[in-house]
Structure 1
Amino acid sequence: MADILYKYKDSVYANITNKCNCSCTFCIRSLKDGVGSADTLWHQQNPTTDEVLNAIRNYDFEGFDELVFCGYGEPTCALETLLAAAKVAKEEKNLRTRLNTNGLGNEENGRNIVPEIAKVIDAVSISLNAPDSKKYSEVTRPKYDGAFDKMVDFATKCKEEIKDVKWSIVDVLPEEDIAKCKALSESTGIKLRIRHFT
């Protein structure tokens, strides 16, 4: 089995599924098998909820105060595992929890999942990737029609129930696109983090 938990920079990450509803042109999955301390993040078979919970319970988090749900798949594609794992991380390990997501979890699960994740997730980082629907579809190649608007709606719903919500983009976007992303951030009141592309 691939690593369920791995260290990257100053955080511990939970790789709970390889399933994803996007096929991003820049996805690191197409470049290498692992990240950080993980030799491989490719699960031959996605871990069960119990396997993820056992990994968290048996992991030494000394020196770390946060668990980030982010691996080689979209965490909300394994929603029940995500919710159970975040609950254990908070209640049994006293960790802050963060969800890194593409923001299409409502579409994936056929309902508004924000009230559920708000109970166990302290922070949400949503990959904005592009400033408008056309460019977003070209870059992320999502499974769903109208994905950009659905992602924005998800972000807005998160902002209503979770204190720490951010969009993220990488600094390789054209300056014009970055400016448009900043404008969207200001109009929605959702912070924008510009990450360095590695």
Structure 2
Amino acid sequence: MLVYATHSGGRYLPIADSLKEQPDGLRNLYINVTNHCNCSCTFCLRQKKHMAEQSTLWYKDGEPSLEEFKAALDAVPWQYFKEIVFCGFGEPTMRLDVLVELLHYVKKLQPQLPTRLNTNGLANLEYGEDITPRFANVLDTISISLNASNAERYYELTRAKYGVQSYEAMLDFAQKAKAYVPNVVLTIVDHVEGPDEIAKCQAICDDRGLTLRVRPYEDH
């Protein structure tokens, strides 16, 4: 699916099915940017989540083009949505040009709707430059996976392709993003780390003026 909504039980539904199940009320629109990723996290749902063929997030026949994404967005019944979330069964910044173009496109289509990017925060390592200025004026919230309170534990969990240096690069990315994105949030997954580790992550965020959010773990 290029675009979808989430429902109880960790289900990903096509928009038409979402509206059948929940005819009223607002929900988030998720944009499945890519299946490519530069991490191989031990807790990742890519290895664990089973999805029906009609609602799979895997792109079996190649990744959609920019025009295919735009066509999917043109067909969205926007009155049922409250936020546009750029994510994927992968790392959305792996298709950075497509991501940025889509951010501009949805802001033109629906300027009143807030936009959010879910990312591992390793794009600057991926591209060898600071890419955060590209989010200016089109991204309202960036949610970055913190995952751990130290570089060694982070690498153990994420198995990022850039090695142990990934942790400090991710934190630096978050700091740089603050200049261009109004809301910068770091996240950690509950049931992956215990209360002591979460408290240490909170201290890191407090020191850097960042917000921490504890995300619920989905194992299905």
TM-score tier (shorter): over 0.9
How far apart, CA to CA, are the structure 2 residues paired with 1:97 and 1:183?
27
How far apart, CA to CA, are the structure 2 residues paired with 1:47 and 1:165?
28
Query: Is structure 2 residue 174 aligned with structure 1 residue 155?
Result: yes
| 1:92 to partner: Cα distance | 1.2
Map of 2:13 onto structure 1: none
**Cα contact 1:52–1:81 (8 A) shared by 2:** no
How far apart, CA to CA, are the structure 1 residues paired with 2:108 and 2:46?
32
How far apart, CA to CA, are the structure 1 residues paired with 2:51 and 2:160?
23
How far apart, CA to CA, are the structure 2 residues paired with 1:119 and 1:48?
24
Percent identity over paired residues: 42
Map of 2:107 onto structure 1: 90
- Out of 138, 147, 150, the position equivalent to 1:132 is 150
Gaps of 5+ in 2: 8-26
| 1:65 to partner: Cα distance | 2.5
The residue identity in structure 2 corresponding to 1:150 is: A
**Cα contact 1:69–1:75 (8 A) shared by 2:** yes
How many aligned residue pairs are there?
195
Map of 2:211 onto structure 1: 191
Query: Is structure 2 residue 10 aligned with structure 1 residue 6?
Result: no
Please say which of residues 179-188 and 61-70 is displaced more in the overlay: 61-70
Map of 1:40 onto structure 2: 56
How far apart, CA to CA, are the structure 2 residues paired with 1:64 and 1:169?
26
TM-score w.r.t. length of structure 2: 0.84
Query: Is structure 2 residue 110 aligned with structure 1 residue 112?
Result: no
| 1:118 to partner: Cα distance | 2.3
Gaps of 5+ in 1: none
**Cα contact 1:33–1:39 (8 A) shared by 2:** no
